[in-house]
Structure 1
Amino acid sequence: MTSSSASGGDSRRAGRIARLVDSSRFNLAIAAVIVANAVVLGLETYPEVMDSYGGVLVLLNELFFVVFVVELGLRIASYGRRPQDFLRNGWNVFDLVVIGAVLLPGVREQAQLLRLLRLARIVRLVRFLPDARMLVLTVIKSIPAVASMVVLTVLLLFVYGMIGWSLFGAALPETWGTIGRSMLTLFVLLTLENFPTYLAEAEPVSMFAIPFFVSYVLLAAFIVFNLLIGVVISSMEKAREEEDKREQADDAEMLTRLAEVQTALSRLEQDLRGRGRDPVKVSPRGDAADR
């Protein structure tokens, strides 16, 4: 077999596998397996179920793992002669780590680690849910801005904590006696939990209780939370844009694979003509038809 024939066969095979792993039926089937795996993991938490069906549940876990290994192999094979491109997708890397880590020596002997890896496989369900995938991307994109918000909130808690300690610390030591207790009280007040109770306790102690609590609620509970909501919405818009770009890139990659298959078939046809054989007919779908 010539190199062009081998290249054509590999490209044809990679194209078929790519269409398979990108199909909705395949992804729906894998999602169903993940849900079934989650059910099995949940049943393992019941001692009476493990006593009666422990062997069956262990066998099911092994079968699920085999399915995931086959799925991972197919996804890698769909990239044909460019398996390194598999690692360009973050979800592919996550799948490789979660599934491949079980194959490492010594991992199966660590019961806790093996259980965590099995639990991590359930998270893969997010991959097959576009809206959930976008929400995860939103959380990741909002981390830098949220970190700044956390620093701002801690600073606000510290400043108001020192003021609260100076105003109410002597009379109310359980809630304002130290900077730690003051900040913890203010942290609880972020959700307006027990706000009337804290205000009623502080009013007889200081005439500045009402301005203190009202200003804190306005700054922390309203402004900070609204800023946080704005950060999340902005991050969601960026995540949606990136998701659209990723889908466009996936479509372009699929078209590139199909073009490679067509090119390989054309080379194969030219090679067969040069050897005096009948050319291979190509169907509109890109498959080679026997004469």
Structure 2
Amino acid sequence: MIEHLCIAGFVGELLIRFGACLNRPSSFFRDGWNIFDLAIIVAPLIPGIRENVTLLRLLRLARIVRAFRLFPSLRVILVGIRKSLPGLGSFLLITVLVIYGYAMLGWMLFGKAEPDKYGTVGQAMLSLFLLLSLDGITDILENGRDVTPWAVPYYVSYMVAACFLLTNLLVGLVLTALQEAHEAEQAASRGKQAGPPIPMEPPPVDTTAHHQIAKLREALDALESQLTVTPPTPRTPEQTLQEVVRPTAS
């Protein structure tokens, strides 16, 4: 009964959305979510697909992510998770390398004594991955000491390297990404509150000062033209001798 009521509610919602597009019915089919919802409604009526309609309904739940934009705190968490994905890839690579190295050592140390946990490298990696939670570490350490005295430094170093350092590294990556997302959210909110930037007007031009500078340049040009000395014209020796003789004769 509840399932039929929910289907009836979805059909009513779909009809309301289609009614909102009566002036342009083609716009209803341009929205991918409308087509997807229509497929969810029609799928139970088609034999062969009726049994797998639950998977489509689970995919439909992904649209609830759109509601997160109404809650800034949830949006910050989602953005922080998205920003931490590149760092998480490097973290997973380091974790796999550390677990693989300790799995090789555990296979050599406890492979014969505990074949169910360290019989192969793959089983050893699975056992060490489950040991990250430190569940039953006391019993495991005691059983390892009965096999070899190297069990104590092996498990202690694994706890320090994998359980403590790697776990704190993961927490640090997530917290850093959340902090960056929170700062970006605050910057965006401040930008919305401040509004668009006001265009700066150019400073007023002082025309009087420009006019005085132009007058000074004209005066300097006139002064330079007056101070320019024209070079003397070259004279012949006869002209020079005549100028010298004329004062003597007079």
TM interval, shorter chain, is 0.5 to 0.7
- Higher relative contact order (Cα pairs below 8 Å, separated by 6+ residues): 1
Question: Does the alignment pair 1:156 with 2:104?
Answer: no
- On the 8 A contact 1:107/1:113 being kept in 2, the answer is no
Cα distance in 2 for residues equivalent to 1:203 and 1:165: 15
Q: After superposition, what is the alpha-carbon deviation per residue over 1:129-151, rounded to whole angstroms, capped at 9, x for unaligned?
A: 21111111111100011110100
Q: Which runs of 5+ in 1 are unaligned?
A: 1-49, 74-95, 257-291
Counterpart CA distance in 2 for 1:139 and 1:69 is 36
Mapped to 1, the partners of 2:6 and 2:76 lie a distance apart of: 33
Is residue 2:158 matched to residue 1:209? no
Q: Matches of residues 1-291 of structure 1 in structure 2 within 5 Å? A: 50=1, 53-65=2-14, 99-102=33-36, 108-109=42-43, 111-112=53-54, 114-248=56-190
Write the distance in 2 (CA, Å) between the matches of 1:149 and 1:66.
Answer: 48
Q: Does the CA contact (< 8 Å) of 1:102 and 1:108 recur in 2?
A: no
| Post-superposition CA distance 1:134-176 (Å, at most 9, x none) | 1111111000111101000000000000001101101110111
Superposed CA RMSD: 2.9
In structure 1, how many angstroms separate the alpha carbons of the residues matched to 2:157 and 2:86? Answer: 27
1:153–1:220 Cα contact (<8 Å) kept: yes
**Letter paired with 1:59:** A
Partner amino acid, structure 2, of 1:163: L
Q: Could you state the TM-score of these two structures normalised by the residue count of structure 1?
A: 0.54
The code of the aligned residue for 1:237 comes to Q
Give 3-state SS (helix, strand or coil) of 2:135's partner: coil
**CA distance in 2 between partners of 1:67 and 1:181 (Å):** 56
* Aligned mates of 1:229, 1:147 — CA distance in 2: 14
The CA deviation at 1:61 is: 2.1
Q: 1:108, 1:114 within 8 Å by CA — same for their partners in 2?
A: no
Shift of 1:233: 1.1
Under a length normalisation based on structure 2, what TM-score does the superposition of the two structures give?
0.62
Q: Across the two proteins, how many residue pairs are aligned to each other?
A: 179
Matched to 2:76, the amino acid is: M
3-state DSSP of counterpart to 1:170: coil
Cα distance, 1:178 vs structure 2: 0.5
CA distance in 2 between counterparts of 1:134 and 1:70 reads 36
Following TM superposition, by how much is the alpha carbon of 1:250 offset from its aligned partner in structure 2, in angstroms? 5.1
1:248 to partner: Cα distance? 4.5
| CA distances 1:157-205 after superposition (whole Å, capped 9, x unpaired) | 0000000110110111011111011101110111111211211211111
Structure 1 residues 66 and 198, CA gap change in structure 2 (3 angstroms):
farther
Using the TM superposition, give the Cα deviation of residue 114 of structure 1 relative to its aligned residue in structure 2, in angstroms.
3.6
Query: How far off its partner does 1:225 sit?
Result: 0.8
Contact persistence 2:7–2:41 (CA under 8 A): no
Instruction: Give how far 1:68 is off.
Output: 7.5
> Higher Cα Rg: structure 1 or 2?
2
- 1:251, 1:69 → 2: CA distance? 37
Which one-letter code corresponds to 2:96 in the other structure? V
